[in-house]
């Protein structure tokens, strides 16, 4: 079964849910706005996908951080993990855990290729 990480009220998430349902793929949803996210999960995503994929610099949460906070988050992996677990909206949505790895962000073609 797939595990989908994200925030319920997000356009990218709604598109992902709709597509997964259309494809008949079963999934478990982890709302990290309500449930939080642990540092180990974030580290796994960073190792698999890289900082440039996991960190959403286009969102308002990143833009609301001061330049000092942004620089501190980017100084090293430990600081970035701290920032991502504290400000979960900084994580690109959705993150989908599949049997072969992870997908980040809404990518219709990639989601359609997921094998149940």
Distance of alpha carbon 65 from alpha carbon 62, whole angstroms: 5
Q: Give SS3 for 6.
A: strand
Active-site annotation holds for 10: yes
Strands (E), the chain: 2-6, 27-31, 95-98, 101-104
Catalytic residue among 10, 46, 65, 74: 10
Active site residues: 10
């Amino acid at each position: 079964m797939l595990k989908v990480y994200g925030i319920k009220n997000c356009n990218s998430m709604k598109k992902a849910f709709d597509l997964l349902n259309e494809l008949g793929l079963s999934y478990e949803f982890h709302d990290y706005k309500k449930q939080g996210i642990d540092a180990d999960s974030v580290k796994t995503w960073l190792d698999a996908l890289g900082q440039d994929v996991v960190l959403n610099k286009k969102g308002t949460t990143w833009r609301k951080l001061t330049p000092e906070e942004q620089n501190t988050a980017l100084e090293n992996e430990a600081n970035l993990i701290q920032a991502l677990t504290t400000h979960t909206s900084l994580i690109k949505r959705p993150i989908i855990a599949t049997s072969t790895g992870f997908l980040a962000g809404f990518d219709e073609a990639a989601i359609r290729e997921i094998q149940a």
